[in-house]
Chains A and B, each alone.
Chain A
Amino acid sequence: GAVVSQHPSRVICKSGTSVKIECRSLDFQATTMFWYRQFPKQSLMLMATSNEGSKATYEQGVEKDKFLINHASLTLSTLTVTSAHPEDSSFYICSARPSDYQETQYFGPGTRLLVL
């Protein structure tokens, strides 16, 4: 149980285009989803926290107009990287939590984005 999927697993796009990444909780409803960016030296950077039906809460330094997050249902959150640039190339990982009474987060397999 507690499986989280991400799609696509890998994407290559041209500079200036937008890319959407989907995150789904397959066997549970996620009241809260999180989006992370992982840099080459392994550290995870929390980008934003999203709750179903409400606006995402972005971490300091993360541009909300560039990284659009939508949590339209209890099983789906999307991250759209708008007007992508090469510096946006990274590994993006989503995570979901079944309820606020649980602390455990379940992670998706990640999406590798390469912007040319």
Chain B
Amino acid sequence: GNSVTQMEGPVTLSEEAFLTINCTYTATGYPSLFWYVQYPGEGLQLLLKATKADDKGSNKGFEATYRKETTSFHLEKGSVQVSDSAVYFCALGPNQAGTALIFGKGTTLSVSS
């Protein structure tokens, strides 16, 4: 079945470092791909999404490109800030109408000044 695999965390970086969080997926068809972010004590917020191959989603300096050939949707940011410290979830669009997104296990990012 469809699934998402994220790199295990935690990821610890210094401010202004480059960030990559890997995400790969297994799916039939061509589902949309998502990144959600969860700040401490809060629910999940949609960070960015891509709906088809080669699409690049971007928001708040983060970006991810839908790569069909490598079945990946890695999240990147050129220069992280302390305020980016959060848990990041990669998600795959539902495999049938009315069903939920399929989430990875989440990756914790800690950025220190």
- Give the number of chain A interface residues (Cβ < 8 Å): 23
Interface size grouping (class) on chain B? 20 to 34
Residue of B nearest to A41 (CB): B105
Give 1 or 0 for each of A68-81: 1 = CB within 8 Å of chain B CB.
Answer: 00000000000000
Contact B34 A107 (CB under 8 A): no
- A23-62 CB contact bits vs B (8 Å, 1 = yes)? 0000000001010000001111010010100000000000
Minimum C-beta distance from A38 to chain B (A): 9
Q: Is the pair B43, A109 in contact by a Cβ cutoff of 8 Å?
A: yes
Q: For the complex, what is the distance from the CA of A42 to the CA of B41, rounded to whole Å?
A: 11
**Count, A-B residue pairs, CB within 8 A:** 51
Residues B42 and A110 in contact, CB atoms below 8 Å apart: yes
Using A95-B44, A109-B42 as known contacts, list a sample of 18 further A-B pairs with CB atoms less than 8 Å apart, ordered by residue number in A. A41-B105, A42-B38, A42-B105, A42-B108, A43-B103, A44-B106, A46-B100, A49-B98, A49-B99, A49-B100, A93-B44, A100-B98, A103-B32, A103-B93, A105-B101, A107-B36, A109-B43, A110-B41
